[in-house]
Amino acid sequence: MPKNAFYAQSGGVTAVINASACGLIETARKHPDKIANVYAGRNGIIGALTEDLIDTSQESDADIAALRHTPSGGFGSCRFKLKDLETSRAEYERLIEVFKAHDIGYFFYNGGGDSQDTSHKVSQIGEKMGYPITCVGIPKTVDNDLPITDNCPGFGSVAKYVAVSIREASFDVASMAKTSTKIFVMEVMGRHAGWIAAAGGLAAETESDGPHIILFPEITFDEAKFLAKVKDAVERHGYCSIVVSEGVRNAEGQFLAETGLRDAFGHAQLGGVAPVVAQLVKDKLGYKYHWAVADYLQRAARHISSKSDVEQAYAMGKAAVELALEGKNAVMPTVVRVSNNPYKWEIGHANLADVANVEKMMPKEFISDDGFGITPACREYLQPLIEGEDYPPYKNGLPDYVKLKNVAVAKKLSTTFEVK
Amino acid sequence: MPKNAFYAQSGGVTAVINASACGLIETARKHPDKIANVYAGRNGIIGALTEDLIDTSQESDADIAALRHTPSGGFGSCRFKLKDLETSRAEYERLIEVFKAHDIGYFFYNGGGDSQDTSHKVSQIGEKMGYPITCVGIPKTVDNDLPITDNCPGFGSVAKYVAVSIREASFDVASMAKTSTKIFVMEVMGRHAGWIAAAGGLAAETESDGPHIILFPEITFDEAKFLAKVKDAVERHGYCSIVVSEGVRNAEGQFLAETGLRDAFGHAQLGGVAPVVAQLVKDKLGYKYHWAVADYLQRAARHISSKSDVEQAYAMGKAAVELALEGKNAVMPTVVRVSNNPYKWEIGHANLADVANVEKMMPKEFISDDGFGITPACREYLQPLIEGEDYPPYKNGLPDYVKLKNVAVAKKLSTTFEVK
């Protein structure tokens, strides 16, 4: 008898996490002898804990196919971390209760580092709590910090958005610099690692192109060195275009974002390192500035997703089902880079035990000696990840993104569970 | 004997001002019997005052064609306003000196309200200073505030960017709202008029779609009413997505942006109304928020330009030359709307005297009764302007925008001129 599968989206969503869901559901639908139905967790793992499951069989093939070009988490996501088996025993027992009630034999968890850790722990339930379940993680994170896999689905599209945007804004400020704006600062995500900021560097093909400066979280902010670099760029190119990571810290270890703006009550204001950097340049060098904070726009920008990212996201969802049907447990499909130019990749897989709690930082040799740019090695790694366009269909001038019906599976348990 | 033409880009650049330049130069090249060469002002009108002219005949047909898909001002722009003939007599005399030296018989000025005013004044030189010159303005402004013309080239593309972006971000926050971010605030341009903010409203096709709230510069900010609306949206839809215009003011007439953030020295910080609004919601309602400030990204986003905007921008450049060759002076080509659905338009023209110093505000009936949304009439006006996609070519995963050679015309004058 075929078992049901549980699928959940976890953590911050991306432009392509739904492409993974699409790959997973479409592949599962081809194996009704092995997988009866895919139940999605409404708002991620919380849906499992509260027995709030979505019956994906209620969605048409066309709507599932449309997930491939729809950003965000189609079933809802959540920020909720299961701790170890001992600390969170009640949660794990509840998962088993729900899985048993709904005859779930496969657990697919689509997320970043914390989620892979959870997948790994759920895979241990079989042994430790006597409930057999096949667990496969599906990589997803704009932070690109999962180990083993060449890159993380979601990252390539953010990388493309950031590179395209800073190229466009750099062209703009170059036109205005003679009499007006000379400094443009664009803030991007990446609290721990500079992968996203680094992607901005792809926009510069020659030394005179913007961005002229990238501020990485890996490099301690040195005000004097930074200001000298800004002045130099303005003197040589007429303007200075800057990409700054939200995670940049000063020598005291403080986030730069926390050192500047305050609200009317004097409270430090988070999430705005761009205005801090821009104001510093204005105060010390007197140049007129503009700044932008892309925030969610960067990770939701399905309209400018990279084709390789969409393809890999889909392939990860598909491979997750295939790995499970091969009997692999406690694994995560990965992207394996075969060659750079032309970019070729294939599907591999890693043990969740090797993925959980390992953060892939950006190699030192990817940042230029002066700390303000990317190296040719970095460019060689990043370039293929932004290759190709994969435009969504449009209707009335806007991307035609799908909203699923998300019909609930009838509850079978009389018990409830409060998520804290 | 054919005369030369002078062309300059003025004020804030857009995603499609170069498409107008493309239309103008390609059309001029078809009439070598009437227009010998197009000289572009390097950095706008400053290039004329300083005799720093760009010889566009040095650019290949392919590079001129590529202007159609390249954002920013290919010849450089400037913020420099010529005052009336009496106050700025020295500037006007200098323009005549340069135009005479380079045998310039046509003056094409591509810009917004101030620029059309300048075009109008230059057209008066013929009478008042004895130098015959045919002056044609070319409309351009993301602010969409020029009168007579159906819309202003540059606006449609910003409108599309804003509508696409807020749709994508709204999908994102909807996925996260259960356990995390419930409020998303996106700040857009438009200091005096809410055209750009209104365009965000196109993203919402049903009442539950984001954006749920638009804050217009036309509507005095009412904190209590706003917070009630936010709370209502969160209670009904799970989240609240907000578009805020940089020009929103409170009952005291202050820009909201100036009431909130201060730098480390306590100075008010401009250009950040989004964080002010987000922080207010957090302080008063306790919801977790994210905010974005699109700034230059919105007006430079050629990658998501609307097709109708690109076509109209090109058509305006082409029509400017045709009007000049028909002997029309002191005019500006306009877009005339023929029908809404399907959207049909044709080229008209207006007298610069009727355009100069008239600002087209958003009609009151375009804003919904509660002041937080757009009406069906507004939607009917805006919808055609974001229709169609006009993707630029890509190379290495990035838009392949052209950088012109911008070779200077040899100076003929021994005099110099200092621009103040």
What CA–CA distance (Å, rounded) separates B53 from B44? 10
Task: Residue B272: list chain A partners with CB under 8 A.
Answer: 261, 272, 275
Q: How close B283 comes to chain A (CA, Å)?
A: 11
- The stretch B48-54 carries a mean pLDDT of 98
Query: What's residue B263's pLDDT?
Result: 55
Q: Are B222 and B252 within 8 A, CB to CB?
A: no
Query: What's residue A388's pLDDT?
Result: 98
Which of residues 79 through 138 in chain B touch A, CB cutoff 8 A?
A: 79-80
What CA–CA distance (Å, rounded) separates A356 from B417? 67
- The stretch B153-166 carries a mean pLDDT of 98
Spell out a b/e string for B173-207, using b for 16 or more CB atoms within 10 Å of the CB, else e.
bbbbbbbbbbbbbbbbbbeebbbbbbbbbbbbeee
Query: CB A165 to CB B77 under 8 A?
Result: no
Identify the closest residue of chain B to A305 by CA–CA distance.
B397
Residue B86 has pLDDT above 90, yes or no: no
Calculate helix-pair angle for A155-176, A307-325, nearest 10 degrees: 170
Query: CB B263 to CB A260 under 8 A?
Result: yes
A303 → closest Cβ in B168, B172, B279: B168
Query: CB B275 to CB A290 under 8 A?
Result: no
B262 → closest Cβ in A169, A262, A272: A262
Query: CB A296 to CB B169 under 8 A?
Result: yes
- List, by residue number, the catalytic residues of B: 143
Distance from chain centroid for Cα A11? 9
Q: What is the DSSP string of A36-49?
A: EEEEEETTTHHHHH
Q: How close A206 comes to chain B (CA, Å)?
A: 12
Calculate helix-pair angle for B307-325, B155-176, nearest 10 degrees: 170
CATH code of B3-141+304-356+389-399, in short, is: 3.40.50.450
Residue B52 has pLDDT above 60, yes or no: yes
Query: CB A164 to CB B264 under 8 A?
Result: no
Q: Which residue has the tokens 């690692």?
A: A193
Which of residues 286 through 345 in chain B touch A, CB cutoff 8 A?
A: 290-297, 299-304, 306
- Chain A touched by B271 (CB under 8 Å): yes
Identify the closest residue of chain A to B189 by CA–CA distance.
A292
Q: Supply the mean pLDDT for chain B.
A: 95
**pLDDT tens, residue by residue, B341-395:** 899 999 999 999 999 888 899 999 999 999 999 999 999 999 999 999 999 999 9
Task: Residue A256: list chain B partners with CB under 8 A.
Answer: none
Q: What is the DSSP string of A204-263?
A: -SSTTSSP-EEE-TTS---HHHHHHHHHHHHHHHS-EEEEEETT-B-TTS-BGGGTS-B-
| Domain-wise residue ranges, chain B | 3-141+304-356+389-399, 155-300
What are the C-alpha distances in Å from A264 to residues B226, B261, B268, B283?
19, 6, 9, 11
Task: Residue B180: list chain A partners with CB under 8 A.
Answer: 78-79
User: Which of B176, B404, B419 to probe by mutation at the A interface, max A CB count within 10 Å?
Assistant: B176
- Chain A touched by B376 (CB under 8 Å): no
Task: Residue A288: list chain B partners with CB under 8 A.
Answer: none
Q: Tell me whether 0.90 is exceeded by the ipTM.
A: yes
Q: Token digits for A197?
A: 């900021």
Q: How close A184 comes to chain B (CA, Å)?
A: 9
What CA–CA distance (Å, rounded) separates A415 from A50? 9
Q: Do domains B3-141+304-356+389-399 and B155-300 have the same CATH topology?
A: yes
Q: Tell me which residue of B260, B172, B9 sits closest to A161, measured CA to CA.
A: B172
Task: Residue A296: list chain B partners with CB under 8 A.
Answer: 168-169, 172-173, 184, 290, 292
Residue B243 has pLDDT above 60, yes or no: yes
A292 → closest Cβ in B269, B295, B389: B295
- Chain A touched by B188 (CB under 8 Å): no
- Chain B touched by A383 (CB under 8 Å): yes
Q: How close B407 comes to chain A (CA, Å)?
A: 16
What CA–CA distance (Å, rounded) separates A49 from B205? 33
- Chain A touched by B154 (CB under 8 Å): no
Task: Residue A179: list chain B partners with CB under 8 A.
Answer: 43-44, 46, 78-80
- Chain A touched by B217 (CB under 8 Å): no
Which of residues 8 through 47 in chain A touch B, CB cutoff 8 A?
A: 9, 12-13, 15, 43-44, 46
Query: What's residue B268's pLDDT?
Result: 59
Residue type (1 letter), B315: A
More confidently predicted of A55 and B84: A55
**pLDDT tens, residue by residue, B245-296:** 999 999 999 999 887 656 555 555 555 899 999 999 999 999 999 999 999 9
Residue B124 has pLDDT above 90, yes or no: no
More confidently predicted of B86 and A311: A311
B168 → closest Cβ in A71, A80, A271: A71
Q: Are B335 and B150 within 8 A, CB to CB?
A: yes
What percentage of residues in chain A have a pLDDT greater than 70?
Answer: 97
List A61, A63, A84, A143, catalytic entry: A143
> Could you confirm whether A143 is annotated as catalytic?
yes
Q: How close A127 comes to chain B (CA, Å)?
A: 31
- Chain B touched by A279 (CB under 8 Å): yes
Fold of A3-140+304-353+389-399: Rossmann fold (3.40.50)
Q: How many CB atoms lie within 10 A of CB B84?
A: 11
SS3 helix, strand, coil % of chain B, rounded to 5? 40, 20, 40
Task: Please report, to the nearest 10 degrees, the dihedral formed by the alpha carbons of residues B204, A61, A141, A200 taken in order.
Answer: -60
Task: Residue A203: list chain B partners with CB under 8 A.
Answer: 398
**pLDDT tens, residue by residue, B306-333:** 999 999 999 999 999 999 999 999 999 9
Query: CB A304 to CB B303 under 8 A?
Result: yes
User: Which of A162, A165, A171 to probe by mutation at the B interface, max B CB count within 10 Å?
Assistant: A171
User: Which of A176, A241, A385 to probe by mutation at the B interface, max B CB count within 10 Å?
Assistant: A176
Query: What's residue A268's pLDDT?
Result: 59
- Answer whether 0.90 is exceeded by the pTM: yes
CATH code of B155-300, in short, is: 3.40.50.460
User: Which of A17, A70, A79, A178 to probe by mutation at the B interface, max B CB count within 10 Å?
Assistant: A178
Q: What is the SS3 assignment for B202-222?
A: HHCCCCCCCCCEEECCCCCCC
Query: CB A269 to CB B291 under 8 A?
Result: no
Predicted confidence band of residue B46 (pLDDT cuts 50, 70, 90): very high
- The stretch B206-221 carries a mean pLDDT of 97
**Which residues, given as ranges, of chain A have pLDDT below 50?**
none
Q: State whether residue B225 is helix, strand or coil.
A: helix
